[in-house]
Amino acid sequence: MAQHTLWESRRAFVLASIGSAIGLGNVWRFPYICYKFGGGAFLFAYVIALVLIGIPLLALEFAIGYKLKGSAPYSLGKLRYNLVGYEENEERMQRKGKFEWIGWFALLVSFGIVTYYAVIMGWATNYLVYSFKLSWGSDPRSFFYQHVLELSDGIFNFGRIQWPIVLGLAVSWIWIVLSIWKGAKTVGKVVYVTVVLPWLLLLVFVIRGLTLPGAMEGVKYYLTPRFEFLLNPALWHAAISQVFFSLSVGFGIMIAYASFLPPGSDVLNNAFLVAFSDAATAYVGGFAVFSALGYYARILGTTVDKVMKSGPELAFVTYPTIINHLPLAPLFGVLFFLMLLTLAVDSAFSMVEGSAAALIDKFHFPRKKANIGIAVVAFVIGILYTTGAGLYWLDLVDHFMNNFGLFVVALLESLVIAYVYGAENLRNYANSVSELKVGRWWSLSITALVPAASFVLLIYSFRQVLLKPYGGYPRVAEILGGWLLVIGFLVIAFVLSRRKSKEA
């Protein structure tokens, strides 16, 4: 395996993992989903999913990355049959699993995500510039859909490429590549800014939000549980997929990040620290968003439950409208989009770094070539999302990556550890290198809960799209932007895993 640069300190690793976890998912996706599923009830489901499913999986990824010292395909490819109680079965214990492809698949899913994640950064880059003059004017909704996106009336009606977004996308990619230029060494420095700065800015928005008239109405909506929502399976589905997305688990990234840890590091403490920081950010982010929504409802003369229509609107329609009404509006605009960008960049580069590490491990690609190669391919694919139909494709790909790709990875990872390597073996290993220990509940989660939940959710998602095409898009689009992509990734993952590794 190629030698990767290691983290220079534990702090660098923890910050980088937190940076990957905290992103648009926390201040944009989380509040929106929370809003959709009745505020407090969603919070409740989220915490349960986090503790019972998210944290065990994060600990699993950290443990295998740290133990096997390589990117996701490399580490999963090295897993041997090691089941407790099979020690006498010599032959079986010598056999290596054939699981490298799971790692490649995970990375391809994260690659699929970063192609559009960077486009959202491209929008935010444009909005950062628009903020100086509040260019969205008095009607941010029309500005976003008609001017910025030039959204067409159908998914196959591509309209025009929006060049300002392409420019924003290019800027974002250059920023991403520079941040991981020398691997962990550069990342370890960059994250001091890209984790701390957005947190400070988030606090500014929490304080600003809570001091606005009507804020308490929003906060009430956020925190009041409407428990009848808990009976809706869609809420549990949303909570679990949000936990995966937010913690960046199931993407192979945390495996790579843990593999850059120097010997003598801790695994479990770090997993808990990262998970709680991520959840705390989402929770605190909720106050910034919901207090502002309370204010927004007051401006519109309506109630909080009626103010938002769709996901992307929160950052690019709702917030600009709110900003319009604030004193020092341009300043708050700049700070808001700076916060979004600094939140997003370390998530985006973690997705590149995870894949680059794999290409370096297996094919001994020079690091810079791997980084630039991934960036260029993702940039070119990203141009699709800058067209008039871009938002539709983004929505479709996002749905398939998060509902099929991700659950498949979580299912396979947990099954392999539970029934090939042995959950208890990994638990003992993780405990042996960590200050904090996990009990048998962890193994129980990995052998039963994670696979069962992932399986049920896969079936659930499958049923949903069979009953009705996702988002009402034509079936052909769903096949192209959804099924073909997922199946194509599976095929590519197999092919990559069969290729001979280049000797150093």
Judged by the rule CB under 6 A, the positions of this chain that interact with ligand PFF are: 20-21, 23-26, 110, 113, 245-246, 248, 251, 253, 347, 350-351
Q: Report in angstroms how near the CB of residue 24 gets to ligand PFF at its nearest.
A: 4
Residue nearer to ligand PFF on the CB measure, 256 or 423: 256
How many Å is the maximal CA-CA distance in the chain? 74
Residue 152 CB coordination number (10 Å) = 17
- Pull the structure tokens for residue 353: 């770094």
- Which residues are within 8 A (CB) of 28 and not within 5 positions of it... i.e. 6 or more apart? 311, 314, 315, 340
Report the residue number, 307 or 359, with the smaller CB distance to ligand PFF. 359
* SS3 state at 80: strand
Question: How far is the C-alpha of 199 from the C-alpha of 339, rounded, in Å?
Answer: 8
Name the residue with the smallest CB distance to ligand PFF: 25
Reported residue count of the chain is: 504
Q: Which is nearer to ligand PFF, 248 or 321 (CB)?
A: 248
Q: How far is the CB of 30 from ligand PFF (least distance, A)?
A: 8
Measured from the CB of residue 28, what is the shortest distance to ligand PFF in angstroms? 8
Closest CB 27 distance from ligand PFF, rounded Å: 9
Of residues 29 and 427, the one with the C-beta less far from ligand PFF: 29
Which of 26/445 has CB closer to ligand PFF?
26
Q: How far is the CB of 488 from ligand PFF (least distance, A)?
A: 19
- The nearer residue to ligand PFF, 252 or 294, going by C-beta atoms, is 252
What does the CA dihedral 393, 399, 401, 402 come to, rounded to 10 degrees? 150
Cβ nearer to ligand PFF, comparing 361 with 398 = 398
Amino acid at residue number 424: E
Residue 96, phi then psi, degrees to nearest 5: -90, 145
How far is Cα 315 from Cα 132, in angstroms, rounded to an integer?
16
Measured CA to CA, the distance from residue 216 to residue 203 in angstroms comes to: 17
In contact, 250 and 244? CB cutoff 8 Å: yes
Q: Least distance in Å: CB of 275 to ligand PFF?
A: 12
CA distance 380 to 377: 5
- What is the C-alpha to C-alpha distance for residues 475 and 286, in angstroms, rounded to an integer? 35
CB-side exposure of 115: number of CA atoms within 13 Å?
27
Q: What angle do the packed helices 367-382 and 329-363 form, to 10 degrees?
A: 130
Q: Closest CB to ligand PFF among 387 and 402? A: 402
* Residue given tokens 């660098």 in the structure block: 12
**SS3 breakdown of the chain: % helix, strand, coil, rounded to 5?**
80, 0, 20
Please state the closest distance from residue 483 (CB atom) to ligand PFF, in A.
21
Shortest Cβ distance from residue 110 to ligand PFF (Å)? 4
Q: CB-wise, 323 or 351, nearer to ligand PFF?
A: 351
Report, in Å, the least distance between residue 404 CB and ligand PFF. 15
